[in-house]
Structure 1
Amino acid sequence: MISDIDKTTSLHLNNEVQFLCFTLDGDLDSQLYAMNVFKIREIIYYDGEFTETAGENDGIMLGFLTVRGESIPLVDMKRWLYYSSADPKRDLRPYSITSKKSLVVICNFSNYTVGLKILGVKRIIQKNWSEVSMGSDYGLEGEGKVTATTKYDDGCVIQILDVERMITDAFPMLDNFSDLKLQPIESIDSDKIVLLAEDSKSVAKSLQKIIEKLDLKYFTFPNGKMLLDYLFSEGAIQNVGAIITDLEMPMVSGFEVLKRVKESPQTRHIPVIINSSMSSDSNKQMAQTLHADGFITKSNPIEIEELLKSFLENIK
């Protein structure tokens, strides 16, 4: 079903996206969830043994599975929905997905490979980003785990999950935004404003930490449409020094932001940096074709500092 995801790169040119719709429980009217197919490597039924992690196994992580010799951490997506950062030691076993065989979505993003245990797959749907709303529109934000929503064929709401937030919750040791990781970066001498477009609240906060460490002014937007609305408002362009945008966002995607900025004579001079966990060669090539000025694999502080320094320090 997902044999060649890279072919869907052309969807970005039309501000479109494909989502895998799936369920986490067996009720007939169970909630539908979704994630961008660009993050999916494959979907498998796994009936082999799991290597459990040392210590307690009542959290988000179930252990490790082995796929063609590769050891991959496995997360129970239903357990994650009930996880709270305010109570990280909570026993999540009562919320586990139970099935005879484990249906696992193998994902690649932010330079990591992880398996996500789900219950069932509905199908892949294709949407224009204008048909995707911010999660708050339906009041379904549950600790920031839902970044956006859209509608299924029958009109029911599909909740699009924040898998970057899931990675942070499941693997806190991989956090790129500790004081230790930010220590090497230094302030940049510029009074220009950096515009940030990011629908994941956890990633947006991390980006803000980096920009604050660089002593730069910034505005953050939860989607590409709001960033573009601000950019093209009266008097804004002359104050903007650079744009950092995610790729997958409700209403207007990052590629659409890139296209519009570079197509306009008034804004084509503004550097646009793509900041995405979807760092496949096809995405990088598409960004280059659309004249992106940089491509960062999900908020790498050193890369952001180097790019912004090269763009901003000579602009007054």
Structure 2
Amino acid sequence: MSEIHVDNDFDEIISIELENDELVRLVTSNADVASQYVVFQNSNDEYFAINVAKVEELIEYKILDVTKTTDSSGVMKGTAKIREHFVNIVCFDSWLGINSRDNSIYELVILCDYAGVRLAIIVKSVYGVLNIEPSEMFDDSDKDTRISYLCEIVVNNKKILCKVFDSDQFLADVMPSKFAKELQKSEMISSNDKNVINKEILIAEDSVLIQNAVKQLMEKMQLSYQVFNNGKELLDSLKNENIDNIGLIITDLEMPVMGGLELLKECLNHDYYRKIPIVVNTNMANASIINTAEKLGARKVIKKLDLLTLREVILEYADR
């Protein structure tokens, strides 16, 4: 198995543990640091990244007993039993539109947990765990909906382009029926909530896919709202707003320029902004991150694409 690299900053908080040469487990005692990323390569040796909070384990692909799907040429390659759970196996290359290679080229699967949805992603190799700050990311979603943003990482003393892929788009593409069902739930909402909440809702979310889903919910609820691509855009807008007219802030955590935790910190340290209730809407909420978000003032942390729960949270926490 290839060597796994870890940023020096994480020497004390991340250990990489081998179990009978079959498993690499990422162990973090500080997984609420939203800037930690697992960096991996596809078969074209391009570098991609996924937030470590979404990663449970790295497992050698060759040891998995995969029951193949009837159409193994697609993105979904089959199912395997991993630690007493049946998990769908997805080829990252196929999702990117690259013809998958011979199985021998793929070294690892990344076992991920997206707020309760577990998937194993087949990749060529994993470079390591690196620190990538939101301020170092460039939004590239307008060029490719599968890529959220670009950044530079240092590999063997050379700067290399790395792509942080859009996990929300990935989930929607891999499990379209689940995504469609969540969107259909918003159609069940028949009440006019404008009479209950007459203040504006501010939303920080970088994924166009999730933006559109939340907009659909806001329109259904007939609420006044604004959507921003990151925390800084939302924070800057507050300078020109009458804070008394803002009923709620809904924020993602993983965003370029300024993430959700940074936005929470800024609001907590501001005499007026701290009065606005904030709800976190994310798919990277492990117990540590939830605890950190709540300490920073978040009223609630919920998973994305649960639109009925989001509506309930809005009705519960938004100022009237």
Same topology, TM > 0.5: yes
State the shift of 1:185 in Å: 6.0
Q: Is the Cα–Cα contact under 8 Å of residues 76 and 97 in structure 1 kept in the other structure?
A: no
Q: Is the Cα–Cα contact under 8 Å of residues 189 and 221 in structure 2 kept in the other structure?
A: no
The equivalent position to 2:57 in structure 1, one of 38, 42, 49, is 42
> Residues 31-63 of structure 1, C-alpha deviation per residue, up to 9 Å, x if partnerless?
21111111000001022331123x433221001
Distance 1:196 1:247 in 2: 12
Q: Is 2:148 the partner of 1:147?
A: yes
Q: Residue 303 of structure 1 corresponds to which residue in structure 2?
A: 309
State the shift of 1:292 in Å: 0.7
Q: Residue 182 of structure 2 corresponds to which residue in structure 1?
A: 177
Amino acid at match of 1:52: K
Q: Residue 25 of structure 1 corresponds to which residue in structure 2?
A: 43
Distance 2:290 2:27 in 1: 16
Q: Is 2:170 the partner of 1:198?
A: no
State the shift of 1:6 in Å: 4.7
Amino acid at match of 2:68: E
> Residues 72-109 of structure 1, C-alpha deviation per residue, up to 9 Å, x if partnerless?
10111111011xxxxxxxxxxx7114342551000001
Q: Residue 112 of structure 2 corresponds to which residue in structure 1?
A: 107
Amino acid at match of 2:300: G
Q: Residue 262 of structure 2 corresponds to which residue in structure 1?
A: 256
Q: Is the Cα–Cα contact under 8 Å of residues 198 and 224 in structure 2 kept in the other structure?
A: yes
Amino acid at match of 1:32: Y
Taking a change above 3 Å as real, the CA distance of residues 268 and 161 of structure 1, as seen in their structure-2 partners, is same
> Residues 249-292 of structure 1, C-alpha deviation per residue, up to 9 Å, x if partnerless?
11111011111112211111111000011121111111111121
Q: Percent identity?
A: 26
Q: Is the Cα–Cα contact under 8 Å of residues 195 and 227 in structure 1 kept in the other structure?
A: yes
Q: Residue 66 of structure 1 corresponds to which residue in structure 2?
A: 81
Q: Is the Cα–Cα contact under 8 Å of residues 253 and 260 in structure 2 kept in the other structure?
A: yes
Taking a change above 3 Å as real, the CA distance of residues 297 and 231 of structure 1, as seen in their structure-2 partners, is same
The gaps in structure 1 that reach 5 residues or longer are: 83-93
Q: Normalised by the size of structure 2, how large is the TM-score?
A: 0.84
Distance 2:229 2:202 in 1: 11
Q: Residue 163 of structure 2 corresponds to which residue in structure 1?
A: 159
Give the SS at the match of 1:220.
strand
Amino acid at match of 2:296: L
Taking a change above 3 Å as real, the CA distance of residues 128 and 205 of structure 1, as seen in their structure-2 partners, is same
Equivalent pairs counted in the alignment come to 289
Q: Normalised by the size of structure 1, how large is the TM-score?
A: 0.85
The equivalent position to 1:134 in structure 2, one of 126, 139, 142, is 139
Taking a change above 3 Å as real, the CA distance of residues 220 and 261 of structure 1, as seen in their structure-2 partners, is same
Distance 2:182 2:135 in 1: 31
The equivalent position to 1:5 in structure 2, one of 28, 37, 57, is 28
Amino acid at match of 2:90: V
Q: Is the Cα–Cα contact under 8 Å of residues 61 and 122 in structure 2 kept in the other structure?
A: no
Structure 1 ranges of 4+ moved more than 3 A: none
Q: Is the Cα–Cα contact under 8 Å of residues 271 and 293 in structure 1 kept in the other structure?
A: yes
Instruction: Give runs of aligned pairs for residues 63-102 of structure 1, distance below 5 A.
Output: 63-82=78-97, 95-100=99-104, 102=107
Higher strand proportion: 2
Distance 2:41 2:301 in 1: 33
Q: Over aligned residues, Cα RMSD in angstroms?
A: 2.0
